[in-house]
Structure 1
C-alpha cells in the first residue's frame, strides 16, 4: 500500500456519514485496490482448511509489527462449487507470548468500513495487558477493497450523503427519494456483479469463522463497534461454541424483521438524545462558536435556519451538491453529533449560513472509495432483509416522523435504495437469542446519535442471560477508549484481559 493510497484511506475515514449505508464511523473505509474477481478461483472443500501466508504489508505499514495476508472464502456458502473471493486480513501478534490467550477480532462498523489498520491504530490504545493477551486481527469485509471488491457505478450526484440518506423534500414528499432509489438500485444491479447478491451480515460472520479456522483458533474474542456489534451478535448466534470474550460497543437494534431499517429509524431518537448536549455547548459563555445565550434557543434557531435554506439554498462551490440547502444542513447536524469534538464545525456552518455565506467545502474521499463503500453498504443492508417497495409504505411513516421528530424531518423512516432493490435476500435474518455461553459484554453511551440507548437495550434483551450491559454516562458514538468514560473503559479492559465481567448490568457515571 503506497503512501498516497494510505492517505486516501485516511480521507475516507474522516468523512462522517460517507453515505446512507455507512452507519458506523469508527473504522476507516478501505481504499480501492486491485483484487481478483470472484470468478478467478473455484471453491472446494479445502477452503475451510486454508492457511494464511503472513507477509510484510504492501507499501510498508507504519507499524513494522503488522502483517498482512489473504484468505480465500466461498462467494456463496450454499453452493459447494462456488467461486472463491479474497478477504484481506491483518494482524499484530501478541506482545507477550507467555500471556497470549488467543485472537481478538476487531470488527468494524459500516456496513462498508474496514479494520485493516485497526491492529496498529485503535489497537495501540488498548491496555498493555490486552495487547499481551491477544493477536489483534483486522480485515476488510467481503466486497470492500482490497478484498474482492464491488462497485455500483453511481452517478457523481448520487454519491452525495444528503441524497443517499433519504431526506424527504421540504414539503415532506418521498417521490424524489423513490426515484433516487430506483436509479441507484438499478445501477447496483447493472454494475455490481454476482458478488453484490452475496453481501450480508450472515456471510460476513461465516467469513470470520473461516478466518478463525485459518488462524488455528478454537475460539475467538471480538471487539465489534457500531454495525460491528450486529456482526458480532450474528457470529455469536451462528457459532456460539466458538466464542470466547465478546465486547459489543455502540449497539445496533437486532430486530430481525427490520434489521437496517431499525438502524436508520434509530437516528430520530439518537438526535433527540444528543441535540440537548450540543445546545448546552452552543450556548455556553466563553464559547467562541456560541450560537445563543440560552440552550433552549438553539433548537428553534436550527429549525428556522433549515427551513430558510429549504426555500433559499446558498451556493457552495466544490461541495456535493454544490449548495447548502436545508437537508445538507440537517445531514451535517447528524454527522456532527457523532462526537462532541465535531460540534465546532456544525456551529461554524450555522453561523456562516445565518450570514448568507459558507465555509470552504469539506474534503471528499476519492470517488472510487465512495463507490466501493456505497456498494458494500447497499448490498449488505438490502441483502439482510427485504424492504417495502412503493410509496405507500413510507408516506405515512415519514409524515408521523416529521411531526414527532422535526430535527430529522422524516429521514429515518424514509425509503433508501433498498426500497427498489431487485433481489430478494438469500436467507432470513438471524434472530439473536440467549442460547450460548454467557460471555458477551455490551458497552453503550447513554447519548449516542447513531446507535441510541433504546436500540442497545433491545440487543441486551435479545441476548438474555448471555450478556450484561454497561451503560456509560457519556455523549458520542463509540464508547470504549473513545467517547466513553474511565469507568466504562476499565470494565471492558478488565473483561478482555482477565475475564472479569459484572454480575449484573452496570451504570457508569
Structure 2
C-alpha cells in the first residue's frame, strides 16, 4: 500500500515543529533508586521462596480446565519492601511437550514464556489460551504459557477513578475541530477525573508506574522459579519490557518486543501520543482507500474522499439522532478507530457503515454501543492507563501547549487527534508527583540478543519507535512486516514473521541484521454474517483501541 502523502509529508512536518514538553516532574534522587533496587531484590527473594500456589481459576475468568491460577505478592512501594503488599493474579498452562507435527515426539520443556498485552491497563490472564491455535502450538509444546494482570488491573489491586456506572457517556460527540466551549467542558472533566483517581485510589496512586511494572515482572520471574526470564510484550508491554532489560539485563533469557513503543524519554508519553495521532491518520487513509476499491460491495464511494464524505454524513446523522439512543459520533469514531489497529476489522466496519446509511442501524449498534456488562472492566482499564502514563513522566501543565499542539496537528490529522488529546488530558492536572522517564539503553554484551517485531504502518506504535528501540537495545534485531499496519504481529497470519518468532523462541536464532517480510494479504471485502463483538484470539493479545 502507498504511504499517504498527508502523513509522510505534512504530518511529519507538523510534528517536528511541536512545542517541547515543559518540565514539572519530580526527579528521582539516587537514594530512592537504590532503595527501590534493594527492595526489588528483597521482594524477588521472598517470592522465590514462596513460589506460586497454582489452583483453580476464578469462575468469572471463564478459563478452560487446563488453566491454573495463583497470586504473587509485590510491594506497593519498592523503596519500602516491608510496607504494604499487593497481590498480582497469574495464570498458567503447562507445556504440552507434544510436537504438533509428530504426536509421538516428546518436546523438552524450555521454561516459562510470560506475556504482557500492553495498554497500560490490559490483562494477560487469558494469554495461555493462545496455545491451542496452530500458530502457537510449537511454542506451547516447549513453554509453560504464563499470563498475568499487572498492578491495578482486574483483581490485581484494581484502580478506579470514577463510578463504573457513570464511566460510559453515550451517545457522545467526536469533534475534529472542537469549539472553545467544548474544550472548556473537557478541561473540567479532565480535572475532575484526575481528582477522582486520587480520591478513589488514595496516596498509593503514585506507585502505579512502568518502572514498578518492570520490577513486578522480576518478582514474578522469581516466583515462577526462573533464573532468567523469557518474555514477550506487545505494544505498551514493549516499553516496560525495555525498562526490564535496562534494569535487569542479566535476568533476561530471551525477549520479544512486538509493536514497539518509542522509548526515547523525551517522548514518554506526551509526544508519543501526538505521533500516534498522526499515524492513525495514515491508517485511516489506508482503510478508506480499501473501502473505495470495494465500492461494488459497500457503495460508500469509489475514492477515499467519497468514503470520507459517507463517514461524515453518518456522523452528522448520529449527531442529530443517536442510533438506539446509544451510538453517537463518538461511538462511531471508536468503532472505526479499532479498524486502525486490525485490518481484519475492516469488512465489518465498512458493512455496518453502509447499512446504517441505507437505514439499518442494527449492525452499527451491535459494534459500537457501550454495554453495562463491560463498564467496570473498561473503567478499570482506563484508570490504569491514565495513572501509569501520567505518573511515568512530565506532561505539559499549561492548557495552551495542548491546545496549540493539537490544533496544528488536527489540521492534517483530524481523525484521532482531539480524541487522543482529551483522553490524556487528566495528565495536565495530575494530583501526585511524576517521575522522570528512564533512559532506556543497553551496551554491547549486557543483554542477550532480543527480537523486535513491527508492522511498517502500525498506527498505535509508529514504525519510528521500533527503529529507536532497535538502536537503544544493543544486539537486538528488528523484523519488519512491510506495507502492513496490524498492531501486534507475532503469532498472526504472516507465516514469515512467525518463522522468525519460532526460530528465536525455540532455538535462540536471530537473523544477523534487520530482516523483513512481505505484508499479509489485505482482508477480502465481504458482508459479515453478524456484527457481534467477537474476540479474535490473536487480536485480544494486544491492548484495546485507544491504547498502546
TM-score scaled by structure 1? Answer: 0.82
Superimposed CA distance per residue, residues 447-484 of structure 1 (whole angstroms, 9 cap, x where no aligned partner) = 22211213322222222x331111102232111122x5
The residue number in structure 1 matching 2:540 is none
CA contact (8 A) 2:131 2:137 kept: no
1:229 aligns with 2:238: yes
Q: Secondary structure at the match of 1:247?
A: strand
The residue number in structure 2 matching 1:264 is 273
The residue number in structure 1 matching 2:86 is 85
Deviation at 1:63, TM superposition (A): 3.1
| Unmatched runs of 5 consecutive residues or more in structure 2 | 1-42, 98-105, 519-548
User: Against the structure 1 CA distance between its residues 155 and 98, is the aligned structure 2 distance closer, same or farther, given a 3 Å change threshold?
Assistant: closer
User: Against the structure 1 CA distance between its residues 165 and 284, is the aligned structure 2 distance closer, same or farther, given a 3 Å change threshold?
Assistant: closer
Distance 1:167 1:148 in 2: 37
Deviation at 1:125, TM superposition (A): 4.6
Distance 1:212 1:123 in 2: 24
Stretch moving more, 449-458 or 351-360: 351-360
CA contact (8 A) 1:234 1:430 kept: yes
1:284 aligns with 2:293: yes
Distance 2:47 2:110 in 1: 26
The residue number in structure 1 matching 2:209 is 200
CA contact (8 A) 1:166 1:416 kept: no
Distance 1:351 1:201 in 2: 42
The residue number in structure 2 matching 1:149 is 158
CA contact (8 A) 1:142 1:148 kept: yes
User: Against the structure 1 CA distance between its residues 237 and 208, is the aligned structure 2 distance closer, same or farther, given a 3 Å change threshold?
Assistant: same
Q: Secondary structure at the match of 2:334?
A: helix
Distance 1:384 1:305 in 2: 38
Stretch moving more, 402-411 or 489-498: 402-411
Deviation at 1:120, TM superposition (A): 2.0
CA contact (8 A) 1:284 1:290 kept: no
Distance 1:276 1:166 in 2: 18
Distance 1:61 1:368 in 2: 17
CA contact (8 A) 2:45 2:222 kept: no
TM-score scaled by structure 2? Answer: 0.76
Superimposed CA distance per residue, residues 149-174 of structure 1 (whole angstroms, 9 cap, x where no aligned partner) = 22222475554499799976257963
Distance 1:238 1:294 in 2: 50
CA contact (8 A) 2:458 2:485 kept: yes
1:374 aligns with 2:388: no
Q: Secondary structure at the match of 1:68?
A: strand
Q: How does 1:321-340 map to 2 (within 5 A)?
A: 323-325=327-329, 327-340=330-343
| Unmatched runs of 5 consecutive residues or more in structure 1 | 1-42
Deviation at 1:345, TM superposition (A): 3.6
The residue number in structure 2 matching 1:55 is 55
Of residues 403, 406, 430, the one that matches 1:398 is 406
Deviation at 1:102, TM superposition (A): 1.8
The residue number in structure 2 matching 1:480 is 490
User: Against the structure 1 CA distance between its residues 129 and 347, is the aligned structure 2 distance closer, same or farther, given a 3 Å change threshold?
Assistant: closer
The residue number in structure 2 matching 1:191 is 200
Distance 1:272 1:462 in 2: 27
1:70 aligns with 2:74: no
Superimposed CA distance per residue, residues 159-215 of structure 1 (whole angstroms, 9 cap, x where no aligned partner) = 449979997625796323321110111111111123322111111111110111111
Aligned length: 459
Q: Secondary structure at the match of 1:480?
A: coil
Distance 2:336 2:398 in 1: 29
CA contact (8 A) 2:259 2:453 kept: yes
